[in-house]
Structure 1
């Protein structure tokens, strides 16, 4: 099974990395693909350039086995729609279950995503929640696809909805950027290699709110 994490990674931090590692272990994934969103359609443009975000992500996972930085959204023209990314991954891995991991906030806005229903054609959707979180009333579309059995994610290539509680570190990229702008110490929020890169390139020197 292949796990898929999308994000702007502006910058990548331990909240991203811990979640990715935890689901890799929980689901016994062969690999986790970190998809760098080149042109996110549902949020403001990232502060750091595509190239810099890519280099930070590569530094962050350099020594982590099974973590792959996937650049297909950089190579593809236009907005970074996840449905197109999953379609491309499905063509590359026709016989592997694909698991798209998203947070509960993203799931609550899923119907705003481009061709969101087609996500299930290419992958399972796994919603990451905090321990103790209770799933509310779901729309019929989701009820039909929900499973509570992890084995079904291995037996089928795509199409299931699954909720998984994990340890979620309350770390925000916006807060990190503002820490750098304030010249404060960002230690223990993101890898030292990424901190060094940000300082070297003088990134995030002004405050921002997104």
Structure 2
């Protein structure tokens, strides 16, 4: 049987229950061999995260420590330049071989922004794309992406064939939680218990992360 590995990248600043539920649901729905969470060490599309890359990585490791199908991959920490997804996929192909089915998870907004990504047209040469759609999504993809959708869409995510090349959709009702919300609550001196795993909360409190500065 061909191995099937999900990939879920992000800044995870901090990782929270919304990230984890999405990852776990996809892994279970598709029966993946594993799903790798890949913290971005140097995200090229946004400002520098509030806490260090190593602290974000540590929180992701704590969050999935006891979840068998969820793994952490620090591949983007092995480069000294910005963490472009296409280069991460190339490195994973070199590591895992040409036959492994790689499935890259993207939220709808991120997917609609693909034409702004570095070497975005090459992504489907290396992976399938799982688009996580949500009932309240209202943005429309640009025309260049609509053409790609028309040519590459597989309606049923269970029918993805080969190691790469197709786009499919998974409907999810997201939990109403965001990293921005969590950072704001902590800065305001409010509790974020039950929004992040207990081990992540303990780490945030131990190192005083996200507190307002004076």
The count of aligned residue pairs is 206
Alignment of 1:7-46 (within 5 A): 7-46=10-49
What is aligned with 1:141?
A: 148
Taking the aligned partners of 1:83 and 1:121, their CA distance within structure 2 comes to: 10
- Aligned residue in 1 for 2:107: 103
Deviation at 1:67, TM superposition (A): 1.2
Deviation at 1:59, TM superposition (A): 0.5
Bigger Cα displacement from structure 2, 64-73 vs 136-145: 136-145
Q: Structure 1 residues 24 and 41 mapped into 2: Cα distance closer, same or farther (>3 Å)?
A: same
Question: Are 1:47 and 2:47 matched, yes or no?
Answer: no
Any gaps of 5 or more consecutive residues in structure 1?
A: none
Q: Does 1:88 align with 2:91?
A: yes
- Partner Cα separation in structure 1 for residue 139 and residue 13 of structure 2: 29
Q: In structure 2, which of residues 127, 130, 133 is the aligned counterpart of residue 126 of structure 1?
A: 130
Cα offsets for 1:126-166 (capped at 9, x unmatched): 1001148699675212211111033432x311000111102
The equivalent residue for 2:192 is 186
Q: How large is the Cα RMSD of the aligned pairs? A: 1.7
Q: Which runs of 5+ in 2 are unaligned?
A: none
**Separation in 1 of the partners of 2:148 and 2:202?**
46
Answer yes or no: is 1:66 the counterpart of 2:72. no
TM-score, with structure 2 as normaliser: 0.91
Q: Distance in 2 between matches of 1:21 and 1:203?
A: 26
